[in-house]
């Protein structure tokens, strides 16, 4: 930025100097020669000023040892993936049950990611109200068809200690 400022100041001072000289030049034969000289002076001053300010760019690349990379923790990543998958699967199962006319109070899934990266359901717990007790077999069937895991179904009020998990 200072280089641009310096070039602009030089340009302004040169314009003022050339303007003053051109006013003082006589109107006759010397005017053409003096105009040529002042034009040459103006151009040479501009080129010299720009050339003095233009330098090789000062590009500094950071040392690769200075760059901090975030630590990658496989366990944290797997836990996040398992939790997100459980949330989406819970929503999908809830929607399936609602489409069948069954309302559940809560669905809790526990997932595990194997070393090969496979996600499997370890535990499925479903809480239903007393009014939905007669639909237990239908709930088990729907859940088993979709996640291949037999769900644990609890009627709220009877298994309140399990609900606290």
pTM of the shown model: 0.50
Q: Give me the domain span that covers residue 141.
A: 74-163
78 with 152, same domain: the answer is yes
102 with 21, same domain: the answer is no
95 with 155, same domain: the answer is yes
What per-residue confidence (pLDDT) applies to 161?
A: 41
48 with 79, same domain: the answer is no
Tokens of 116: 């090969």
Question: What tens-digit pLDDT sequence spans the chain (165 residues)?
Answer: 566 777 777 777 777 777 777 777 777 777 777 777 777 877 887 777 777 766 645 667 667 676 776 666 777 777 888 888 889 999 999 999 999 888 899 999 988 888 777 888 889 999 998 888 899 999 999 988 888 889 999 998 644 444 444
Whether the Cβ atoms of residue 148 and residue 90 lie closer than 8 Å to each other: no
Whether the Cβ atoms of residue 46 and residue 17 lie closer than 8 Å to each other: no
Asked whether residue 117 is assigned to any structural domain, the reply reads: yes
What per-residue confidence (pLDDT) applies to 152?
A: 92
DSSP 16: H
What are the residue ranges of helices labelled H in 25-165? 30-53, 74-99, 136-147, 160-163
């Amino acid at each position: 930025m200072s280089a641009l400022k310096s070039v602009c100041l030089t340009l302004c001072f040169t314009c003022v100097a050339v303007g003053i000289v051109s006013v003082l030049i006589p109107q006759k034969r010397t005017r053409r020669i003096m105009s040529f000289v002042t034009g040459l002076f103006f151009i040479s001053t501009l080129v010299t000023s720009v050339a003095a300010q233009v330098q090789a760019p000062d590009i500094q690349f950071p040392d690769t040892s200075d760059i901090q990379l975030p630590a990658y923790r496989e366990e944290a990543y797997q836990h996040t993936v398992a939790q997100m998958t459980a949330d989406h699967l819970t929503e999908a199962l809830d929607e399936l049950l609602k489409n069948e006319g069954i309302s559940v109070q809560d669905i809790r899934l526990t997932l595990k990611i194997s070393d090969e990266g496979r996600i499997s359901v370890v535990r499925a717990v479903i809480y239903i109200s007393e009014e939905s007790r007669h639909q237990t077999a239908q709930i088990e069937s729907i859940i088993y068809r979709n996640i291949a895991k037999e769900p644990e179904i609890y009627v709220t009020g009877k298994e309140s200690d399990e609900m606290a998990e």
